[in-house]
Structure 1
Amino acid sequence: MYKRMNETNLPQNVRSVGAVVHALQILRHLAADGAPQGVTAISRATGINTSTCFNILRTLAAERLVVFDMDAKTYRLGFGVVELALGLLGANHGDLIRPELERLALNNSALMCLWHVTEAERIVLVDRVFSSTSVRVDMHVGTRLPSLVGAVGRCVAAARDFDEAELRRRFAGLRWQDPPRFEDYLADVQSVATNGYARDRGDLFIGLDIVAAIVVDHTGAPRYGLSGIAIAGQVPEPAMERLGEDLVEVAQRIGQALFSVRK
């Protein structure tokens, strides 16, 4: 079920329009499920009142964003969605993701980074957005790191699902400014299954607090890392945890949009 966008996801002084939010919930649900559904099923899955859901679906059908099957009494996505997306086909993934980085930077006192996970066991910084509300950290676009270091690396390790012996072998070759114990690193990797995000508290870079989540493709392979980096102590612990949860939600949304990942 898709969650309604709340005020913290929007720039200041901007309020969401309920009908638009509901229409997007319906479209995203149909895209994620992939199968034609009736009004009652769509209403139940999205939490939208049945009559409201019916009226929105009729409007979407009139605009060719959904197609109504009169015999089965079901709705599915229509060609109008493809027409809307034509301008994005072939676009650089980083350009599509950047608005999410900007939103996260606006709402958090942290440097927001987008990392590309390469097949050569590296992560490469492909974009970053600064917060304008705090003393800032910077990293150069093009920075390359081993794929298993830091907060992003812990998430990558979790996605790759190495056994303990293999993870220990790979861990031994990693370089950190303040190396963690393997047992602590292993516990952090295992916690990703529960939290969806990982933390690095001054291990990779002394004095920096990092939280991260990853975008995976339809096979579960890591493709991108999203991280928030702040000077240690500058962002309160509860705020870093909320940022981690926000990163997980954004990463899941990007995975669905770019790689057809099912929820």
Structure 2
Amino acid sequence: MPVARQPRRTAVVTSHIWPSGGRHLWPSGETSPVQSHPRGHLVYAASGVLAVHGERGTSIVPANRGAWTPAGFTHYHRAHGDTDMRIVFLAPALARLMPDHPAVFQTSSLAREVLLELTGPRNYDGSAPDRGRAARARLLRVLVDELRDAHEQPLHLPTPRDDRLRAVARMLSETPADNATLAELGRRIGASSRTLSRLLRNELGMTFYEWRTQVRIYHALVLLAEGHDTIHTAHACGWANPSGFIAAFTTVIGTTPGRYRSGRQGL
């Protein structure tokens, strides 16, 4: 059964972009054009939930995570809930210290403050004096050091290459509450559970349970950003009771759905 969506809230689209970064204020549902950049960049959702759709999958960026996209990777952004997106471009010397693939990192309190400072109003005109540019360079190095010390988070949904896995992915995405086993899903598309398990391990490096949990957490983040409560979100995403959902959500995101929805991420 399709998940009911909350009425779309209205918000003014506002952008401030300069060579080293920028800020977008997007209403829920807003989508950027497909694009790629000559420099790698970090995006951070100061509020709302951001999805970064790329050629290798989708990175989910709730308000306590940052997403890294290397130079040259084709991607687009989508806002879930009214979203305050910050973006910071890295020079090649710093980008080389980051992963060579899209990744999501938990943002420490320090990393958050650095990101907000680097994308704050004083940077809008891009004409900072030499002292300001030196301070910015130091902040960028602090940010990269903080992210390198953080573990990559399991919030990247890889895109399967095999047509059979793609078919299963569509079913999981369209009906996240469906509790069909891998064998049952396989019968719908004409593939055995053994074959699908092997493909999951070889292509995505995870089990079916891990994959489905990631898909469900993604949908849960979207529903919470759109204003749905914990009980509705739990049932809409396939958990039989809210306590199981809260435990799974907290394990992946690092805070409870209630605290996340109210904006208290413990940062």
Looking at CA atoms only, which structure, 1 or 2, has the larger radius of gyration?
Answer: 1
* Same fold flag (TM > 0.5): no
TM-score, length of structure 2 as denominator length:
0.22
Q: Which has the higher helix share?
A: 1
Which fold has the larger relative contact order, with Cα–Cα distance below 8 Å and residues 6 or more apart in sequence?
Answer: 2
